[in-house]
Structure 1
């Protein structure tokens, strides 16, 4: 007996008469924002497709996704603090799109450590690039300055 999950057959089945259940670990913390239209969940940092297909994904794919969630959460913190929304994640290119307004989108690069300090690369629509030092207390001011060129040296 197989159970249908997200339009596909689950990779496991329950034996008849035993009542045994196979549990698949999930990063879900019970505050799924994909249910209200977000493309990326603010709770677990998975995309809508990843949340929907989690039980149908193979163990290797679930492990790959789990390995990137901590860095995605950095992007989610940027989105929350700037009032924006993550609209797309491209794992192949290691970047995400942060929509500050429907027409004002910034590309966020893969969060990384430089000299032991956390940074997030920003790529503006006009082609300018900036390495945002998110470890600093004033990172939000630096973010807006980089976007609007308010500082002489950013």
Structure 2
């Protein structure tokens, strides 16, 4: 560790960014890279976890920790509650879910989404659900191999 509370990597990234800030000819992309490097090393630095544990040991509550970190109490607990193994497992499970479940909706699904059907008929999504419940429109739930499910409407053409 550096003489202060930051890791050596974070201290180096901070010093590099200070040098860029003081340089009169620092290229914009170099500044951007320096900012991102510091942000990435700060995110990985154990200094925040050490500070959280010290604050909790000193009597601070999760609301106090959350306020200091600019997070909600539940987000602070998610990030820092438990021992190192529990935290690592929680974060790895989150990364695994993100890898396994893409954030974008596939564009090659059959039929129409409820929103697309509502736009097509000039009604609300609720009206589409009512028409489905009354048997006026066919709808099915389409499940993808990764477990994501989408309600799809199949209007008669």
Q: Structure 1-normalised TM-score?
A: 0.25
Larger Rg: 2
The structure with the largest helix share of the pair is 2
